[in-house]
């Protein structure tokens, strides 16, 4: 794995929301390939509203990787709380999303470092389970990091 010097990492603040929104849209465009500016504008508005509520309350936590003060990678997690069960007594878990590194900076370990920061933060919050949906590109990284198939089948219903 090649390395680049002077990459810094920090937790995002509400003031970072616009750049995080931009990179979330880039990530979604790369994996979902949507059509239409109206959809993107509506999505942007919904994401902005979400971050404005969830970042200050620590229900959404993210880290940014920067090179020379410019963002080159991101990753975040949504804090979820459900009733406890035998495998997760306190019911707290975190859903990892928006792991995105600019194409020119991929393969440098940025994703792994951000995952480590998210895992450490989750642990400090009493959270002992992380989950995510993996793209084909990220699948190997996540498995190497220790992610595995869930105990139960994950199903969804769109309507």
pLDDT at 1 over 60: no
pLDDT in tens, 23-70: 888 888 888 877 767 678 888 999 999 999 999 999 999 999 999 999
pLDDT at 5 over 80: no
Q: 3: pLDDT confidence band, cut at 50, 70 and 90?
A: low
Q: Would you state the pLDDT for residue 152? A: 82
**pTM of the full predicted structure?**
0.88
> What is the domain partition of the chain in residue ranges?
12-134
Contact 101, 73 (CB under 8 A): yes
CATH of 12-134 given 3.40.630.30, 3.20.190.10, 3.30.70.250, 2.70.70.10: 3.40.630.30
**Residue range 115-131: average pLDDT?**
96
- What is the C-alpha to C-alpha distance for residues 146 and 148, in angstroms, rounded to an integer? 6
């Amino acid at each position: 794995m090649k390395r680049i010097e002077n990459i810094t990492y920090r937790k995002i603040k509400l003031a970072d929301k616009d750049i995080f929104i931009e990179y979330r849209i880039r990530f979604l465009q790369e994996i979902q390939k949507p059509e239409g500016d109206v959809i993107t504008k509506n999505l942007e508005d919904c994401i902005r509203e979400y971050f404005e509520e969830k970042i200050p309350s620590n229900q959404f936590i993210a880290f940014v990787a920067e090179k020379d003060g410019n963002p080159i990678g991101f990753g975040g997690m949504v804090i979820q709380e459900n009733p406890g069960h035998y495998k997760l007594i306190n019911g707290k878990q975190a859903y990892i999303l928006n792991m995105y590194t600019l194409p020119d900076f991929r393969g440098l370990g940025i994703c792994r470092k951000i995952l480590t920061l998210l895992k450490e933060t989750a642990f400090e919050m009493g959270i002992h389970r992380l989950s995510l949906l993996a793209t084909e590109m990220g699948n190997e990284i996540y498995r190497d990091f220790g992610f595995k198939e869930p105990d139960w089948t994950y199903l969804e219903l769109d309507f």
